[in-house]
Amino acid sequence: MKFIYSTILVLSSVLMVACCGEQKKTCCPMADLKSTENRLPFWAMGGFVRPEGVNPVIEPKDTEFDCPMQKTKIKWEESDTFNPAAVVKDGKICVLYRAEDNSATGIGKRTSRVGLAETTDGVTMTRRESPVLFPAEDNAKVYEWRGGCEDPRVAVTEDGTFVMAYTGWNRDNGEITATPRLCIATSKDLITWEKHGPAFAKAYDGRFIDLTSKSGSIVTKVIDGTQVITKVNGKYMMYWGERMINIATSDDLINWTPELNEKGDLKGIVYPRPKYFDSDLTECGPPAVITEHGILLLYNGKNRGDDRRDERFTPNSYCAGQILFDLENPGQVLARLDVPFFRPMDAFEKSGQYVDGTVFIEGLTFFNDKWYLYYGCADSKVGVAVYDPAQNVAGDPIK
């Protein structure tokens, strides 16, 4: 029966593609691409609504922290707070956000640390004074000094172990190649974290340890109202990557093995598309979710700045898309949005470090029968948007 359902879904997608031109394995959410209305297809999540008058929910402030790297007190979240993860613990949403100090000027030049905020209503935040993940005198020093810990994605197992995929950025450390690496950390309380180093360190005899990679979206499922990490075909699985989306699997959630193609190279399954909002970049967003239709991945798409961009959206802007994968064959794309369901709309999403406009999604969690999406606003602040499955709401308008 599952095979028959998947076949019907694939055939339906193919028929919709035939109506939308030569786009492969996509699902066009509207017949008239000139329309500003953005009605989402049945398999997609959303639309997500920004609660009125509450955003941004996290902004920079002058909080001091005794930094073990700089050996002095620093204002660790003084410059920017953005790109958050989110997970539910003890009846609260916990938001783990990237924060930058004021040690330099320019994107990627300051030191990043991960802070923790809690909320019982999804919008009112209580923040810890000190970061929970940061560069220190520890086993990850060689991967994190002096760029720090960036862009967390967090999910939880059924037994209450929190797993974070984050970027270790050793910007100017001369001991090992200066590369942003996808790293793994685990915790039982979201405050004390055990760092396990690069996710791909052991795979293929360390072949990919110096691979530039920043995003890891571990597959989850809502079971009895709780979103938890789940296995796919007997393995833990995550989608990962930026310039293309890949798959990696794991037996322990710590050591991950990327899938390879028949030539022994990384097996890319999704790529940027010229003339679309994701024409320059497809970067995995929050933890993927198994739904009744397949595996749903929300991702970040960057528009190009040249003549291959999507002219409906600002050049170089970051918008958010969705892809549906087959549950039995997780590398097979069943459907893909041709326009973003979420894009820079408000002033704080188009000002700050990234004035071309950014809504960068990394935190998605199921709470009180609704989905809360936490996102970075122009690399400077944190916002929230909410999807109520009981409501039929369109995505962000196209223009």
Residue 208: pLDDT band by 50, 70, 90 thresholds? very high
pLDDT exceeding 70 applies to what percent of the chain? 91
pLDDT exceeding 90 applies to what percent of the chain? 85
Nearest to 218 by CA among 189, 192, 188, 256: 256
Confidence check: pLDDT of 20 > 70? no
Burial of residue 143 (CB within 10 Å: 0-12, 13-18, 19+) is: buried
Read off the pLDDT of each residue in 7-28 and give the average, rounded to a whole number: 39
- pLDDT, residue 175, reads 73
Strand order of the β-sheet with 381-387 is: 359-367, 370-377, 381-387
CB 56 within 8 A of CB 378: no
Give the DSSP H/E element, type plus range, for residue 283. strand 281-284
pLDDT in tens, 62-118: 999 999 999 999 999 999 999 999 999 999 999 999 999 998 888 888 999 999 999
**From residue 155, how far is each of 4, 159, 363 by CA, in Å?**
31, 12, 9
Residue 177: pLDDT band by 50, 70, 90 thresholds? confident
Residue 32: pLDDT band by 50, 70, 90 thresholds? very low
Name the more confident of 162 and 351: 162
Q: How far apart are CA 151 and CA 172, in angstroms?
A: 19
Q: Where are the beta strands (DSSP E) in 68-215?
A: 72-75, 80-89, 92-100, 112-119, 126-127, 148-156, 162-169, 180-187, 194-198
pLDDT in tens, 232-281: 999 999 999 999 999 999 999 999 999 999 999 999 999 999 999 999 99
**From residue 217, how far is each of 37, 284, 361, 371 by CA, in Å?**
29, 6, 11, 16
- pLDDT, residue 128, reads 98
Read off the pLDDT of each residue in 207-235 and give the average, rounded to a whole number: 97
Burial of residue 67 (CB within 10 Å: 0-12, 13-18, 19+) is: buried
- pLDDT, residue 10, reads 42
Local structure of 251: helix, strand or coil: coil
**From residue 63, how far is each of 43, 78, 105, 111, 174 by CA, in Å?**
42, 7, 19, 15, 30
Mean of all residue pLDDT scores within the chain:
92
pLDDT in tens, 151-160: 999 999 999 9
- pLDDT, residue 21, reads 33
Nearest to 388 by CA among 37, 95, 46, 91: 46
pLDDT in tens, 352-363: 888 899 999 999
What dihedral angle (degrees, nearest 10) is formed by the CA atoms of 337, 339, 342, 348? 150
pLDDT in tens, 118-150: 999 999 999 999 999 999 999 999 999 999 999
- pLDDT, residue 35, reads 67
pLDDT in tens, 335-352: 999 999 999 999 999 998
The single-letter code of the amino acid at 187 is: S
